[in-house]
Structure 1
Amino acid sequence: MSDILERGEPVRVATGFVFTEGPLWHPDGFLYVSDIDARTHYRVSLPDGSKTVVRRNSGGANGATFDAQGRLVLCEQYARRLVRMEPDGRIVTLADRFEGKRLNGTNDVVCQPDGSLYFTDPQLLIPEPERELGYAAIFRLMPEGELRLLTPEMNHPNGLAFSPDGTKLYVSNTRPNPHLYVFDVRPDGGIARGRVFAEMPYVPAEPGATFTTSVGRVRPAAERGGVPDGLKVDVEGRIFCTGPGGTWVWEADGTHVGIIPTPELPANLAFGDADRRTLYLTCRTSVYRLRTKTPGIAAAPPPA
């Protein structure tokens, strides 16, 4: 990992959350962070780590990006929709249904140069009787507002990120088979030839064993050590994915470089600072940072 990370341990930036997700660095020098289970969206000032509430009752905001006009876009997991926050704070629903049926629970989102928003819609937290779609999905919201189904073939698609040249789309699959998928991106923006890029096995556990999360959810014991989740790519094409035991890193050719450990298990990550060489990690109750030797790809066009 010495070719990828600068020396030093992860530094805690902010703490006191319930479950952090959706980090997004803003060029004005702060980090957007969602506390999903507190249903609160924050702005974390850097470098001091002070927190300012951006919005309460956030619908379990999860993954975040900026759209082509620099406006904040959020996956509201519990509200089961994709939204945009206007500069005045108003919330605009971008997508909450497909073919008349409610989405499952939007998870993560990325913006492409043409303004398209690609997002995952797993069935992670929706009880079966409440599911209107018969599948988990990856969607593409076109700039003019049309919602297109890209694929229903993954079990639980989670984080997603494009390769530097935009020809590959990487997607983490949380369960039941934890792995990283890759799709070819067609010239029209569709995706094809989905295949496993890398396996991300859970920490071994006794068959049938469970544990209860901090908010009372009962999950398989194997997931206690983390699951494939947030995903980012650097300018050299390396893939960073939070998962079992820490943040996993691969070269673009699939070579597994190693796992970055953190004091708490990470759920998501974002490159930030002016040089995009600081990796911010949302890790349960805290946010950590560490320095990389190569810049990450910008999440989306910077705000105007």
Structure 2
Amino acid sequence: VTLFQQPTNHANGLTRDLKGRLLACEHSARRVTRQDSDGEITVIANRYRGSRLNRPNDVIVKSDSSIYFTDPGAPAPGLDLDYSGVYMVSPDLDEITMLVGDFITPNGIAFSPDESVLYVNDSRRQQIRAFDFQPNGTLALASDRVLCDLSGDRPGVPDGMKVDVEGNIYCGGSGGVWVIDAGGNRLGTIVHGHDASTNVAFGGDDWKTLFFTTWNTIGSVQVNIQGIPVPTNVR
């Protein structure tokens, strides 16, 4: 393990865009940024309709270069917004759209393999919700459904989320990292022995290594199904 960057403004969720550039949710700076290979920082989003964002948490990029992120934390003293939202940023970065604002703590976010469904977990409610996409990239709110309840008698709440090429979902939950199929059925739990899972990511040469973080550790486990790859080289 080597140090990539410090300080990071308490960066949380990370991903790469279609050109391999690093996107980060900067918790303390209350913004989502993109970093080029030369270190130049571009602000993707830091305000919505003039109000500063809360505490951006996790971010993903669609195949059309649209950017989706979660923004928990509200309502709370010192924050401008009175709700916690899920947002979409247009590929040209000119427009930010609030997709849904009735989460308590929106956290991990992921697409289904065909990008027809958006998954968002709510740490406070201990559930994953699923939404079908409309053609313009917004959500069909009438399709909103609770896909899975991840509560239990062991430590851990929904946190972080990734999907493999067969559509299975990997998400922190009670007792470890839950593996859930696209129908919301729990297939099993990756038990790592720590109090909580805080994020997950696929990697390795074949994208069959699932990395996970806890409050103070980093671990990995080999899985049988390839995770959905993200670009790794800046172009």
The question of a shared fold, defined as TM-score above 0.5 by the shorter chain, is answered with: yes
Number of the residue aligned with 1:166: 115
Number of the residue aligned with 2:91: 143
What SS does the aligned partner of 1:115 have?
Answer: coil
The structure with higher relative contact order (CA 8 Å, sep 6+) is: 1
Number of the residue aligned with 2:211: 280
What SS does the aligned partner of 1:153 have?
Answer: strand
The answer on 1:81 being equivalent to 2:31 is: yes
Match 2:77 to one of 120, 129, 143: 129
Q: Residue 101 of structure 1: CA displacement?
A: 0.2
Residues 62 and 75 of structure 1 are in contact (CA less than 8 Å); yes or no, is this contact kept in structure 2? yes
Residues 178 and 202 of structure 1 are in contact (CA less than 8 Å); yes or no, is this contact kept in structure 2? no
Identity rate of aligned residues, in percent?
Answer: 40
Residues 147 and 183 of structure 2 are in contact (CA less than 8 Å); yes or no, is this contact kept in structure 1? no
Q: Residue 57 of structure 1: CA displacement?
A: 2.1
Write out aligned runs for 1:247-286 (5 A): 247-264=177-194, 265-286=196-217
The answer on 1:191 being equivalent to 2:191 is: no
Residues 118 and 132 of structure 2 are in contact (CA less than 8 Å); yes or no, is this contact kept in structure 1? yes
The answer on 1:70 being equivalent to 2:55 is: no
Query: Which AA in structure 2 matches 1:188?
Result: N
- Counterpart Cα distance in 2 of 1:182 and 1:121: 17
Query: Which AA in structure 2 matches 1:261?
Result: V
Number of the residue aligned with 2:174: 244
Residues 249 and 258 of structure 1 are in contact (CA less than 8 Å); yes or no, is this contact kept in structure 2? yes
Residues 243 and 267 of structure 1 are in contact (CA less than 8 Å); yes or no, is this contact kept in structure 2? no
Residues 84 and 94 of structure 1 are in contact (CA less than 8 Å); yes or no, is this contact kept in structure 2? yes
Number of the residue aligned with 1:113: 63
Number of the residue aligned with 1:290: 221
Query: Which AA in structure 2 matches 1:191?
Result: L
* Cα distance change of structure 1 residues 136 and 112 upon mapping to structure 2, 3 Å threshold: same
- Counterpart Cα distance in 2 of 1:96 and 1:290: 35
Which consecutive segments of 4 or more residues in structure 1 shift more than 4 A?
none
- Counterpart Cα distance in 2 of 1:254 and 1:284: 26
Residues 25 and 33 of structure 2 are in contact (CA less than 8 Å); yes or no, is this contact kept in structure 1? yes
Number of the residue aligned with 1:56: 6
- Counterpart Cα distance in 2 of 1:64 and 1:291: 21
**How many residue pairs are counted as aligned between the two chains?**
230
- Counterpart Cα distance in 1 of 2:56 and 2:152: 23
Q: TM-score, normalised by structure 2?
A: 0.93
Q: Residue 127 of structure 1: CA displacement?
A: 7.0
Residues 75 and 84 of structure 2 are in contact (CA less than 8 Å); yes or no, is this contact kept in structure 1? no
Residues 266 and 282 of structure 1 are in contact (CA less than 8 Å); yes or no, is this contact kept in structure 2? yes
What SS does the aligned partner of 1:82 have?
Answer: strand
CA-to-aligned-CA distance 1:216-239 (integer Å, 9 cap, x gap)? xxxxxxxxx111111011111111
Q: Residue 263 of structure 1: CA displacement?
A: 2.9
Q: TM-score, normalised by structure 1?
A: 0.73
Number of the residue aligned with 1:12: none
Using the TM superposition, name which of 268-277 and 258-267 deviates more.
258-267
Residues 75 and 82 of structure 2 are in contact (CA less than 8 Å); yes or no, is this contact kept in structure 1? no
Match 2:54 to one of 92, 99, 104: 104
Residues 161 and 232 of structure 1 are in contact (CA less than 8 Å); yes or no, is this contact kept in structure 2? yes
CA-to-aligned-CA distance 1:228-254 (integer Å, 9 cap, x gap)? 111011111111101221001111122
